[in-house]
């Protein structure tokens, strides 16, 4: 496999953002490459065309880059800052960086409350050891033996600190699991509700299974009361620390833009912001000189060849992505018209056969690519769905269509008597779609639809609609 082919394969798999980063790196590494919008570099004044002058020009490129970097550096302002102190720490407090918005973490929020609570430094050390050990849910690790090693701790110091932290905002942290957190919250918010405390404390496993009848029997409490108490528990936060969790938000810039205009599919690449490339004209003229040093000539030839490969492979990548995306959207035109739930069966092989290319090429093109449609942004792989045989063999259905049918059936079912998976199989069979019961269960899981017995219990807990 040639270097050019390897690069072509690599570029196909890159997203548009990754391609931009690749081009930026190449612009720095390859002196003969420049952006199409950039001005040609002219020879240095006094260049005689001799080899030593050419070498000076190569060095001059680096000098220009260095000067550009130098101009981008923002130096500290040495003027009067409005306070009379030479203390470096004090200067940092007045730095502009400290005026940026800052989201408070769970640890910072709890430590702030600890500082307002503790009476001395030793006590704060205990609080700090506990708080900094909590995970993003606000829970303690399973093994806390290594948290407190000082023998000087008095009996009950740790337990007292834990009891206080558990009532900090958010209530229910510094525990080991969901059950303990809910117990703390119930005790704090509903201290006189004995039934509620018993449900969480003594019947938690039954509560997880929504087995209200068993809870009713165990506690000897009427079923309607248990159902009402479970509604209260549902309003509590099983993972109190998560509201302060610093999650990384991934922003997606679509690589492809698809529109359906008057029945015509228009596919475009969202890469206008990616710089175009060309070979610097100065190096082209330099190579025409007869007295150029051989090593320098070979160096520039190698860089030019690398630049040509890159520009050719970028153009090939662009063309291939447009062709593959166009083929996919032609197969999924009904999706563009009607939205999610209307995808047709489609495989990499179908697109490869349509375009006369290899399946691996289709797979590479669809990696790390996102499509902007009128229905939202979707991973390009989203449009490949499995094929399910119809009962009469006349027309295949896709897994997406079947899931949409299942969702529709469940939404229309009698809330007091939810349909079993077998019942759903029969309904789909009458519609001409043959699906196994285990497939229904699998698709329910993907759609996050509970089984019929769980749906029945959940429906009972929903507030009645008043007309």
Does residue 66 carry a pLDDT above 60? Answer: no
Helical packing angle, 437-447 and 399-412, nearest 10°? 80
Does residue 268 carry a pLDDT above 50? Answer: yes
Mean pLDDT, residues 14-27: 90
Q: What ranges do the domains of the chain cover?
A: 106-244, 256-339+348-380, 387-461
How far from 77 is each of 66, 68, 95, 453, CA to CA, in Å? 22, 20, 11, 70
- Tens digit of pLDDT for each residue in 306-356? 999 999 999 999 999 999 999 999 999 999 998 887 888 888 999 999 999
**pLDDT-derived band of residue 305, with 50, 70 and 90 as boundaries?**
very high
Choosing among 3.40.50.300, 3.50.50.60, 1.10.287.1770, 1.10.10.60, the CATH entry for 387-461 is 1.10.10.60
- Tens digit of pLDDT for each residue in 142-182? 766 556 655 455 657 888 899 999 999 999 999 999 999 99
Q: What are phi and psi of 128, to 5 degrees?
A: -65, -40
The predicted pLDDT at position 101 comes to 43
Mean pLDDT, residues 407-411: 85
Statement: the pTM of the whole predicted model exceeds 0.85: no
Are the C-beta atoms of 426 and 383 separated by less than 8 Å? no
The predicted pLDDT at position 267 comes to 94
What tokens does 197 get? 């405390």
- Alpha helices, H only, 141-192: 157-165, 178-189
Q: What DSSP line would sit under 330-363, residue for residue?
A: HHTHHHHHH-TT-PPP--HHHHHHHHT--HHHHH
Range name among 57-66, 231-240, 242-251, 320-329 with the lowest pLDDT average: 57-66
Helix and strand counts by DSSP (H, E) for the chain? 21, 8
The predicted pLDDT at position 148 comes to 61
Are the C-beta atoms of 132 and 106 separated by less than 8 Å? no
Q: What percentage of the chain has pLDDT greater than the value 70?
A: 77
User: C-alpha angle 210/214/219, rounded to 5°?
Assistant: 115
Does residue 97 carry a pLDDT above 60? Answer: no
Does residue 191 carry a pLDDT above 80? Answer: yes
The predicted pLDDT at position 287 comes to 87
**pLDDT-derived band of residue 95, with 50, 70 and 90 as boundaries?**
very low
């Amino acid at each position: 496999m040639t270097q050019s082919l390897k690069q072509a394969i690599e570029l196909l798999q890159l997203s548009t953002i990754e391609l931009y980063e690749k081009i930026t790196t190449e612009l720095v590494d390859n002196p003969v490459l420049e952006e199409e919008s950039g001005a040609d570099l002219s020879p240095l004044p006094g260049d005689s065309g001799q080899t030593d002058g050419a070498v000076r020009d190569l060095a001059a490129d680096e000098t220009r880059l260095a000067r550009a970097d130098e101009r981008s550096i923002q130096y500290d302002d040495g003027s009067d800052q409005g306070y009379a102190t030479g203390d470096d720490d004090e200067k940092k407090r007045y730095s502009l960086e400290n005026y940026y918005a800052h989201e408070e973490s769970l640890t910072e929020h709890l430590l702030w409350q600890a500082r307002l609570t503790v009476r001395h430094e030793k006590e704060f050390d205990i609080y700090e050891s506990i708080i900094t050990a909590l995970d993003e849910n606000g829970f303690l690790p399973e093994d806390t033996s290594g948290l407190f090693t000082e023998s000087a701790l008095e009996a009950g110091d740790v337990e007292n600190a834990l009891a206080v932290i558990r009532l900090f905002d958010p209530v229910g942290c510094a525990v080991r699991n969901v059950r303990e957190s809910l117990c703390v919250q119930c005790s704090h918010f509903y201290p006189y509700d004995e039934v509620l405390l018993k449900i969480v404390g003594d019947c938690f496993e039954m509560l997880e299974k929504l087995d209200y009848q068993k809870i009713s029997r165990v506690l000897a409490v009427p079923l309607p009361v248990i159902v009402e108490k479970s509604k209260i528990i549902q309003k509590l936060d099983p993972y109190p620390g998560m509201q302060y969790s610093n999650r990384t938000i991934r922003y997606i810039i679509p690589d492809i833009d698809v529109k359906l205009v008057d029945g015509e599919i228009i596919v475009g690449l969202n890469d206008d912001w990616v710089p175009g490339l060309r070979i610097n004209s100065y190096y082209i003229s330099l190579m025409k000189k007869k007295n150029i040093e051989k090593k320098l000539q070979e160096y520039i030839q190698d860089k030019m060849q690398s630049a040509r490969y890159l520009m050719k492979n970028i153009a090939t990548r662009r063309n291939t992505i447009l062709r593959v995306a166009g083929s996919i959207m032609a197969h999924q035109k009904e999706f563009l018209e009607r939205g999610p739930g209307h995808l047709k069966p489609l495989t990499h092989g179908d697109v490869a056969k349509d375009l006369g290319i290899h399946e691996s090429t289709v797979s590479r093109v669809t990696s790390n690519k996102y499509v902007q449609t009128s229905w939202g942004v979707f991973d390009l792989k989203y449009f490949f769905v499995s094929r399910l045989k119809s009962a009469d063999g006349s027309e295949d259905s896709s897994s997406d269509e079947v899931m949409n049918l299942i969702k529709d059936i469940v939404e229309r079912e009698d809330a007091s008597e939810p349909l079993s998976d077998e019942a759903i199989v029969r309904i789909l069979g009458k519609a001409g779609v043959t699906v196994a019961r285990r497939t229904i269960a699998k698709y329910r899981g993907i759609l996050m639809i509970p089984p019929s017995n769980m749906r029945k219990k959940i429906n009972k807990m929903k507030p009645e609609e008043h007309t």
